Structure 1
């Protein structure tokens, strides 16, 4: 095949890829007339993906990247849209009761999805509400443990109604504050009765008679202790965790075990740890994201485990007590 033909095919391939969103729908530009700028950003991300995956094939990385819904966003735009600084004070977090349990013999692998504790992957949309999805995910697992019924809970309920507890809707919050609201409020509605809109609202529409879940409080895990996170996953259930998701490699993650030594540990994105495992000697966490199923491994990411708290995964971990 001639180099001219190869370049032409590559150009046609990129044109087709850019013309459609990852889910197959026609692409919609962020703003009228912005196609040229978006295309340039997309091309830059495409080249980054190609270079990284070439290096992965050479054994330089343990994970691959892929084009997704963030492909035409700069890192700064992606960070502003999807992430949020977790502005808790150390005093607030250190005042929580600490879980420091143990298990007699930890299995080589664990996955709560296989045991019915985890709802399907959700999407937070263009809204920094990851904290609400992390909180509902942890409580969904605990309620299944208690009732054997898996009910998707309402993130919008938390967004609209927990501002008095320090949360700020699409502009950030903390799972622990969501648990505090649920405990004091006496419950939370289901996703069905209080659907998600990905928008801020000043009106709380919660009705106690529609409540389907509740918690008595919450506990934290020892800061930065991955061994304790592993024990809690086995003994308790899915755990609300936080990571640093700033990097382009996280934004465009597709598959494999994510390990980037340049990542900081200042957390800005909440997720849900649902299990762990080992592949070819490499340890990993199984973490559920809230960016839809077209990101990562059908909405999940495997993150390096026992790797000096990769991306800060063990820095801030909590779960509700039901």
Structure 2
């Protein structure tokens, strides 16, 4: 009896183990193509684990896109370089921004010795005129932060790049690695704050270019050289936490650094106007608003990300605008003065 029970347990264990290795054979070629496209290589046991996660994401995306075709969503999802990761793994590796505490009044801003811009209430017609700072040459090409939680640094360099171009006429790609290595109040590839990065640039009389201080996606020793400074800023300004104020700033100032708070569907975004209706918000991520517009009577923010051009709409995302400050896109907005 005991032997039979033992053999039964062994057989059950074998069946369970085998089931873990069973995948949808119809997806074999898609799996190979996806691995090749994103240059993924795994050890045998890891491949089993990653394939399972990948297939789960395939089904999740297919279900979402089916619901999109039924009019339940305003955006589609797609497989990307993150599709072999769980939500927890992704959030730990790719979303490392710390939102600053939103300033609620000009008096609070003065107390903190920073500039502060409020909604002046005279921008009722701004939404009728789309804005895209890329057409003015104020936005560098989409960059890729790699496996480093440095979105905060990319958001800051993007804002400085835009202001430097608009004031001095030349667009220079600035060094995120300079911030990752040298901003002592942030945490390199773990997490960081846009306000801290702006403060670092002010305190150290500038930031180097991407060319002189190239990106490695790994925190290293600070190698900043004052003689290699490519841009400087005098101060930074927090925008009042309303979409109306953000709209006015984007129209009149230029690209604006923002920190959003979204749910896990954000990482699989592919196309359309992203609206996050999920109550559970797990992603805190810094990006750059470079404009706004309207499509089919739906307003959107045009936002540059730092996950490469394979993500989203060639590295960009259109996020829902004038819909209750979705993803808190206007809550943590900031820009520099050069």
TM-score (norm 2): 0.85
What residue in structure 1 maps to residue 21 of structure 2? Answer: none
- Aligned residue pair count: 306
| Residues 1-322 of structure 1: pairs in structure 2 closer than 5 A | 11-12=25-26, 14-21=27-34, 24-29=37-42, 33-84=45-96, 86=98, 88=100, 95=112, 96-100=114-118, 102=120, 105-106=125-126, 107-163=128-184, 166-201=185-220, 203-223=221-241, 225-247=242-264, 249-263=265-279, 268-322=284-338
Q: CA deviation at 1:58?
A: 1.0
Maintained 8 Å contact 2:97/2:149: no
RMSD: 2.1
Maintained 8 Å contact 1:75/1:246: no
Q: C-alpha deviations, 1:19-59, integer Å up to 9, x for none? A: 23477254223x66300110000000000111111111111
Maintained 8 Å contact 2:118/2:245: yes
Q: C-alpha deviations, 1:184-205, integer Å up to 9, x for none? A: 111111001100000011x211
The separation in 2 between residues aligned to 1:124 and 1:192, in whole angstroms, is: 16
Q: CA deviation at 1:100?
A: 1.9
Q: C-alpha deviations, 1:140-181, integer Å up to 9, x for none? A: 000000111111000000111111xx2111111111111111
Maintained 8 Å contact 1:112/1:237: yes
What residue in structure 1 maps to residue 14 of structure 2? Answer: none
The separation in 2 between residues aligned to 1:90 and 1:57, in whole angstroms, is: 38
Specify every segment of 5 or more residues in structure 2 that has no aligned partner in the other structure, as ranges: 1-23
More helix by share: 2
Maintained 8 Å contact 1:79/1:246: no
* Most deviating of 309-318 and 132-141: 309-318
The separation in 2 between residues aligned to 1:82 and 1:264, in whole angstroms, is: 18
SS in 2 for 1:234: helix
Maintained 8 Å contact 2:97/2:150: no
SS in 2 for 1:257: strand
The separation in 1 between residues aligned to 2:212 and 2:235, in whole angstroms, is: 23
Max Rg structure: 2
Specify every segment of 5 or more residues in structure 1 that has no aligned partner in the other structure, as ranges: 1-9
* Most deviating of 263-272 and 180-189: 263-272
The separation in 2 between residues aligned to 1:146 and 1:32, in whole angstroms, is: 54
SS in 2 for 1:19: helix
* Most deviating of 261-270 and 110-119: 261-270
Given the superposition, is the C-alpha separation of residues 91 and 244 from structure 1 closer, same or farther in structure 2, using an over 3 Å criterion? closer
Q: C-alpha deviations, 1:94-142, integer Å up to 9, x for none? A: 5343112656652421111111110000000011000000000000000
